[in-house]
Structure 1
Amino acid sequence: MIRRPRERFGPAAAVLVVALLLVTVVGTWPPLVAVESGSMEPSVERGDLVVVTAVDRFPWGDPVGSDATNPPTRLDGAGDVVVYTSPVDPRRPILHRVAFRVTAGEDWTDRADPDLLEGADCTDIATCPAPYDGYVTYGDANGEYDQTAGIAPIVHEELVHAKALFSIPYLGFLQLGVDAAIARFGVVPAGVGIVATVSLVSGTGAFLVGRVREGWRTRNDRKGGRRPPR
């Protein structure tokens, strides 16, 4: 069966349009984040797809920590979950929960959860006192703060580029697969392969749906005493 280009590439174009609309609404790129690790389990698991929005997008404000009087509820926990770029490894954004905001020169261990300090005090932590204004963060499944575990220093507000809204189970594996393909083959070859795969899958799906419809139509015609069209 020969399909016209519009029919072949229509689904891929539709996906692109939806992606552009989503970026317009949430105000950040990428608007979807695939979770690569289990640091936020059980609220977010590896392979989940998290929908995020820009921090300054209405009606949001600055990230709110879990220590707030009435903290927002994000991903089955108290406090905002943010995506930030760690200076330790800028290639891999981190999706973790905000514990509280700190100011430059503050001994923030006075406000910290002792269970997450692992017995450390301010003299044991490289980023205490806080060298600048920012945020102390942690993964729900981790036993300590990012700043005491060496995952990241105090998270400067300029490094926080998105807030998490909600997660979709398992769909993140698709994005992880795309990222792996880009890392291995490059952007252009991977993009061509993805478009070809989407077109092939959509074409096969349309063909199968057409055959099923044709079968049902033929069956109904026979029941009604009519000959199926030749």
Structure 2
Amino acid sequence: MSSRRPDRTGPIAPAVAVVVAAVLLFALVGTWPPFVAVESGSMAPGVERGDLVVVTAADRAPWGDLSTAADPNAPARLGGTGDVVVYTVPGADGRPVFHRLAFAVDAGEDWTERADPALLAADCADLATCPAPYDGYVTYGDANELYDQSAGIAPVVPDEWIAGKALFAVPNLGWIRVGVEAAVARYGGVATGVVLVGIAGLAGGVGALLLGRVRRGSRR
């Protein structure tokens, strides 16, 4: 009589599924990581703190090139008009900014002439990033009172600073990543990794146990 081998794939199946899903998502959107966790409320109400946003490369087909809120027939994205992008200012604190493209500017342009006066804190002569030192974009958070370039959040944003643009948001799923990053900052990557591996193993074991019970019940 032959005995059936125990199924040892149960505990690792969830981890494998996550890896496969991440690889497929990367192949689709062309950027890594393929999502960002929103850590502030600057894009509310379209995107709230704790949401997880799937992003794509800025020029990735079939979503086309970048569009600003001022462009004719600009697409609707996350509760507003124009693309929402992830950009990082070199030499800053390293934290990416997740804001909307207001309009494109050319090098040497006094961009305040085309700006919404309600989103400006000063005239061009009093802004460090005006006239525009190079081609790029003026940006803003939907919930903020000023353009990023008027509030001192960022200079004019050139294409090379933009890591990706948003496709859609999943409410509250980003809290997982926010929590992991907070744990890494407080306890270190190694300790956090050990805890996460333990949790993944426990979840996989419980899932395999439940699945085994379901299979046994279906055979009766």
What does the per-residue CA deviation read over 1:161-195, in whole Å, with 9 as the maximum and x for residues that have no partner?
Answer: 10100000000001111222333343344333222
Contact 2:54 2:169 in 1 (8 A): yes
Cα distance in 2 for partners of 1:5, 1:158 equals 46
Q: Which residue of 2 aligns with 1:173?
A: 175
After TM superposition, the score normalised by the length of structure 1 is 0.86
Q: Which residue of 1 aligns with 2:26?
A: 23
Counterparts in 2 of 1:1-230, with a 5 A limit? 5-87=8-90, 89-118=92-121, 120-208=122-210, 210-211=212-213
Cα distance in 1 for partners of 2:80, 2:20 equals 33
After TM superposition, the score normalised by the length of structure 2 is 0.89
Shift of 1:213: 6.9
What does the per-residue CA deviation read over 1:55-106, in whole Å, with 9 as the maximum and x for residues that have no partner?
Answer: 1211244321101111111101101000000236342101100000111100
Cα distance in 1 for partners of 2:27, 2:219 equals 43
> In 2 relative to 1, CA 41–28 (structure 1 residues): closer, same or farther, beyond 3 Å?
same
Contact 1:88 1:152 in 2 (8 A): no
3-state SS in 2 of match to 1:104: coil
- Counterpart of 1:19, as a letter, is A
* Structure showing greater Rg: 1
Cα distance in 1 for partners of 2:55, 2:190 equals 26
Shift of 1:132: 0.6
**Greater Cα shift, 14-23 or 46-55:** 14-23
Cα distance in 1 for partners of 2:127, 2:102 equals 16
Cα root mean square deviation, aligned: 2.1
